[in-house]
């Protein structure tokens, strides 16, 4: 028998009756680190130092709202009879695709108001988005959620991951695929590629389109392992459908813009 370490406490610390959970701390850390990386590149690309701060003031809260709306929409069979739970986000139930869709809409409107090319801002922030996602998935690890199907401990040991991760994937008497780790590592590789692509000086928009394709490919396959998916109908998983749509849109836009736009702006252009 393998000894199992005590489960990691999801509560980071308490302030009187208020409990601060690791999930929130990790998400906040992801946002801060993503902001610092994005802010540095924003200034480098000759945007105002406060530009990203102003954008995030709108984008972060509305992303949370979007993440909740997306989740509730696909779980409407439950929530239609429990309307009081719709706003109970503290009980769990948010979806990254909802947050991303809301963030893109907010960023598009914001850039139009500031007379800034949307794709210029999207390109700059593409690595930061993946940074936030790579870090944020560790919140799922702490909560022992968003995992895959059952596996053996030997399988996890063969992945050469630390024992503290393996031990925390022991949930209710069984071990599970650490899909949070798969997605986090996939995002990390994507970050490295995006940072290298900055030097290539791609056509404007292609950094963001690459992000869409990269994340969506990884999410499509990882989602197939998960046991907590949202479904459109039958066995059609919402995240996989959205991923396919995102890949098609990004690929079509890359091809179309290169063919239709003469002398298109590039990443390092003003």
- pLDDT for 156: 97
User: In terms of C-beta density within 10 A (0-12 exposed, 13-18 middle, 19 or more buried), how is residue 83 classed?
Assistant: exposed
- pLDDT for 91: 75
- pLDDT for 14: 86
Identify the residue whose tokens are 């994005």. Answer: 38
Could you give the angle at the alpha carbon of 108 between the alpha carbons of 202 and 216, nearest 5°?
Answer: 60
User: In terms of C-beta density within 10 A (0-12 exposed, 13-18 middle, 19 or more buried), how is residue 90 classed?
Assistant: exposed
Collect all residues with Cβ–Cβ distance below 8 Å to 170 and sequence separation of at least 6.
4, 153
- pLDDT for 90: 74
Long-range pairs of 4-10 with CB within 8 A, sequence gap ≥ 24: 4/167, 4/170, 5/163, 5/164, 5/167, 5/168, 7/144, 7/168, 8/142, 8/164, 8/168, 10/142, 10/143
Whether 153 contacts 166, CB under 8 Å: yes
Digit-coded pLDDT (tens) for 211-235: 999 999 999 999 999 999 999 988 8
The residue ranges of the chain whose pLDDT is under 70 are: 1-7
- pLDDT for 7: 67
Pairing state between β 18-21 and 11-15: antiparallel
Sign of the dihedral through C-alpha 14, 18, 19, 23? negative
């Amino acid at each position: 028998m393998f000894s199992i370490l005590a489960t990691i406490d999801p509560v980071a610390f308490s302030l009187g009756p208020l409990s601060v959970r690791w999930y929130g701390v990790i998400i906040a850390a992801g946002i801060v680190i993503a902001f610092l990386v994005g802010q540095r590149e924003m200034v480098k690309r000759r945007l105002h130092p406060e530009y990203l701060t102003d954008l995030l003031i709108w984008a972060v809260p509305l992303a949370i709202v979007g993440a909740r709306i997306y989740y509730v929409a696909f779980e409407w069979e439950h929530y239609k009879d429990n309307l009081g739970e719709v706003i109970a986000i503290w009980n769990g139930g948010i979806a990254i695709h909802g947050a991303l869709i809301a963030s893109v809409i907010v960023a598009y409107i914001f850039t139009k108001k500031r007379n800034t090319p949307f794709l210029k801002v999207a390109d700059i922030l593409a690595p930061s988005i993946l940074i936030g996602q790579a870090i944020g998935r560790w919140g799922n690890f702490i909560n022992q959620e968003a995992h895959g199907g059952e596996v053996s401990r030997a399988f996890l040991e063969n992945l050469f991951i630390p024992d503290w991760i393996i031990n925390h994937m022991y949930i209710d008497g069984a071990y599970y695929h650490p899909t949070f780790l798969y997605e986090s590592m996939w995002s990390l590789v994507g970050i490295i590629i995006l940072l290298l692509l900055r030097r290539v000086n791609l056509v404007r928009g292609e950094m963001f389109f690459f992000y869409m394709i990269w994340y969506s490919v990884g999410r499509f396959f990882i989602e197939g392992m998960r046991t907590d998916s949202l479904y459109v109908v039958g066995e059609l998983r919402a995240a996989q459908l959205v991923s396919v749509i995102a890949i098609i849109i990004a690929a079509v836009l890359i091809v179309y813009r290169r063919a239709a736009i003469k002398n298109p702006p590039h990443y390092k252009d003003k």
